[in-house]
Amino acid sequence: MRDSFPALVTTVAGTGPGLLLAHGATGSVEDNFAPVLAALAAEHTVVAPDYPGSGGTPVAAAPLDLDELTDAVVDSAVRSGVDRFAVLGFSLGTLVAVRAAVRHPERVTALVLTAGFARPDDHVLGLLPGWRAEVPPALHPHIDLIPSLDTTGDLTGVAVPTLVVATTADSVVPPAGSRALAAGIRDARYTEIASDHVVMVERPEEWLRPVLGFLRSLPLSEGKDGEVE
């Protein structure tokens, strides 16, 4: 990573198999995951970094790049003593999760992809100018990153168990994005929730049921400090 890329302020909670969270654009760990964090941490060592400009992480000095952001998110887990982990991505975080599985296959054990996409469609792109005008300048780099994103070519390279959660009443990312992820990733599991975009906040219990069920079905993996759970 470039020297100009800040260390990500990271929340670590719980014990058990590693679970790395990747939040959405202009969101934060608190904004996106607060209602479900305790339930996830009850069964996992949860590592939850805030992207540059979010939470307590400083703004990056240069435009964001998906590979660099992904490497920083993965590094936040490694620095926290969690060497192998499932990655749970939301919205922009689904692209971080997919890229992490391809760039760091020795570390990523599974994926959970919620309200995601492989590349932004015309609906998402059309929202960006108004969205950018509504958020603080510190978050503009998140939005400026979106038009360049495309992980379509990564999908066939994902070789870990994957759960895709589509939000069928989503006003931000149409559920077609999640369906394309499920179709492109070999043997991906797929489920739908009738929710708007931030389903973890709007329908936390309904979201936790399939997510925890999927995570419980995975083979035992290393947790914090290499302890086998």
- Give the per-residue pLDDT at 2: 60
CA-nearest of 162, 64, 58, 155 to 110 is 162
Q: Is the pLDDT of residue 221 over 60?
A: no
For residues 219 and 42, the model is more confident at: 42
First CA to last CA distance, the chain: 31
Residue entry with tokens 């995975």: 218
Q: Tell me what the mean pLDDT of segment 150-166 comes to.
A: 99
Domains of the chain (ranges; CATH) run 10-226 (3.40.50.1820)
CA distances from 10 to 49, 101, 109, 140, 188 (A): 4, 20, 20, 21, 29
- pTM of this prediction exceeds 0.85: yes
How many CB atoms sit inside 10 A of residue 103's CB?
Answer: 16
Q: Given the DSSP bridges, would you call strands 162-167 and 108-114 parallel, antiparallel or unpaired?
A: parallel
- pLDDT category at 228 given cuts 50, 70, 90 is very low
Residue entry with tokens 């999640």: 178
User: What distance in Å separates the CA atoms of residue 15 and residue 7, rounded to the nearest whole number?
Assistant: 23
- pLDDT category at 219 given cuts 50, 70, 90 is confident
Q: Given the DSSP bridges, would you call strands 85-90 and 162-167 parallel, antiparallel or unpaired?
A: unpaired
- Per-residue pLDDT tens for 126-138? 999 999 999 999 9
User: What distance in Å separates the CA atoms of residue 53 and residue 141, rounded to the nearest whole number?
Assistant: 8
Q: Tell me what the mean pLDDT of segment 56-63 comes to.
A: 95
- Give the per-residue pLDDT at 104: 99
